[in-house]
Structure 1
Amino acid sequence: MWITYFNGDQHYLILSLLCLVFSMLPFYWHFEMKRSEAREIVFLAVLATMAAMGRVAMAAFPDVKPTSFIVIVTALALGPESGFIVGSTAAIVSNLFLGQGPWTPWQMFAWGMMGVTAGLLRNLKWAHQRGWLATLGIIYGFLFGWIMDLWYALVYVQPLNAKTFVAAFAASFYFDLVHGVTTAVLLFCFYKSWYRIITRYKYKYGLMDAREELERSSF
């Protein structure tokens, strides 16, 4: 019965939104249960605000998104959970200025997952090299775009079939490329300085897992 219900065209969006909500809940739940210190929350809030304001400031150029750069740097410096919080929060905060809508959960998911996956690469040496970072920026630009294309196809494309689905993704190629190249250039030029600033604050004030890392390194 439920499978039949969700197979209807008008229910694609309902099912996808439910999947998004349930995929993001564990991250928020774990962050809430950690009982983070106030200074950690403030630090993440500042980074999320910077990511959001970077998007708002470049609103005239919708696919030039400094947000992705800040999310990736945060994740590589502080870990996947921090990357998720900054990414998902930046989406909802920036939309307070740019307009909320059914696209907001998708943007929260896209930037949140960008933070999670980038954070999982933080212990790999190549993930901090400028050449690889630029490549990563281009990849993330397209992945973000494809997630938003999926939302667009589910909402606006009728009839939804393989041909129209592929056409919807192909139509956004230029915009995804601009997003990816912008992120790649920012990572190539400014990653090291931003990474040093974030990690300096992390160790200076003992934020996130700084104490545990220092204890492990002392053995």
Structure 2
Amino acid sequence: MQKHGIEKERSRFGKRTLISAILIVIMIPATILLGVFALDDRKYYFISLLIILYTMLPFVMLFERRKPQARELIVIAVLSAIAVAGRAAFFMLPQFKPVVAIVIIAGVSFGPEAGFLVGATSGFVSNFFFGQGPWTPWQMFCFGIIGFIAGLLFRKGWLRTNKLSLCLFGGLATFVIYGGIINIGSMLMFTPSISREALIATYASGFWFDLIHAAATVIFLFILAKPMLEKLERIKVKYGLYE
């Protein structure tokens, strides 16, 4: 039962997931851009808290259907804490961090909404150690969207729990999604307009950082994915955390 429990978690996309997708794909980017252009990138705490509020809405919808279980949120909080601690533990190695790997594991184990929540809160809380700034909402979104996509792909059966599948997805997602979005955010922090020259220069300067980040995600997934997924599966079975 424990061995095959994760596979049974796959299901069709429900109302909660569709609403989450709308919030993540439309509302959160719009909120970040509002902070950049309307608030001059000065209200990043406010924007960050709005993002966390958006990510909590799907869980409010879930709790409307049944009695909330504190242990569900505790597990998600623990995963976020592990991601924050992991980022802090490797502070001396720029971009070599386990955050994306843990976010992917959270998305696979507990679903796309949980993956986004773990990613967004990890980015927000860890920046109390690394420094808050206009980059925080961008990092929250980048971490979160990877966790959300990981959960969606797993539910559809396109992402497996074997090392090859997870490492391949993790490396590509970190390099293409995180690097692709965060570089745009970095450019907008220095210039209000987007030009082809500025975009090329930004991606070129961030290439090696993105490559190191992607390699770190692959390494941490290779080491952590199997034991963490097995332990999380036992927790889900023991406490009945399946949806």
Q: What is the TM-score with the length of structure 1 in the denominator? A: 0.81
Q: Distance in 1 between matches of 2:200 and 2:179?
A: 13
Q: Distance in 1 between matches of 2:104 and 2:187?
A: 27
User: Which residue identity does 2:86 align to in structure 1?
Assistant: G
Change (3 A) 1:56 1:20: closer
Q: Distance in 2 between matches of 1:159 and 1:47?
A: 37
CA contact (8 A) 1:54 1:66 kept: yes
Q: Distance in 2 between matches of 1:204 and 1:103?
A: 39
2:173 to 128, 140, 145: 140
Q: Distance in 1 between matches of 2:49 and 2:179?
A: 19
Q: Distance in 2 between matches of 1:52 and 1:103?
A: 16
Q: CA deviation at 1:37?
A: 1.4
The answer to whether residue 127 in structure 2 is matched with residue 95 in structure 1 is yes
Change (3 A) 1:31 1:159: closer
Question: Which position in structure 2 is the counterpart of 1:202?
Answer: 236
What are the superposed Cα offsets for residues 93-129 of structure 1, whole Å, 9 maximum, x if unpaired?
1011111111111111111111100001123165222
Question: Which position in structure 1 is the counterpart of 2:101?
Answer: 69
Q: Structure 1 stretches of 5 or more lacking a match?
A: 1-10, 210-219
2:88 to 56, 59, 65: 56
Aligned residue-pair number? 200
Q: Distance in 2 between matches of 1:71 and 1:125?
A: 17
Question: Which position in structure 2 is the counterpart of 1:8?
Answer: none
Q: CA deviation at 1:13?
A: 2.0
Question: Which position in structure 2 is the counterpart of 1:149?
Answer: 183
Question: Which position in structure 2 is the counterpart of 1:38?
Answer: 70
1:28 to 47, 56, 65: 56
CA contact (8 A) 2:123 2:136 kept: yes
Q: Distance in 1 between matches of 2:71 and 2:192?
A: 48
Q: CA deviation at 1:181?
A: 0.8
**SS, match of residue 64 in structure 1:** coil
User: Which residue identity does 1:133 align to in structure 2?
Assistant: L
User: Which residue identity does 2:37 align to in structure 1?
Assistant: I
Q: Distance in 2 between matches of 1:99 and 1:23?
A: 18
Matches within 5 A, 1:139-218: 139-142=172-175, 143-157=177-191, 160-209=194-243
Q: Structure 2 stretches of 5 or more lacking a match?
A: 1-33
CA contact (8 A) 1:138 1:180 kept: yes
Q: Which has the larger radius of gyration?
A: 1
Q: CA deviation at 1:62?
A: 2.4
Question: Which position in structure 2 is the counterpart of 1:13?
Answer: 36
Q: What is the TM-score with the length of structure 2 in the denominator? A: 0.74
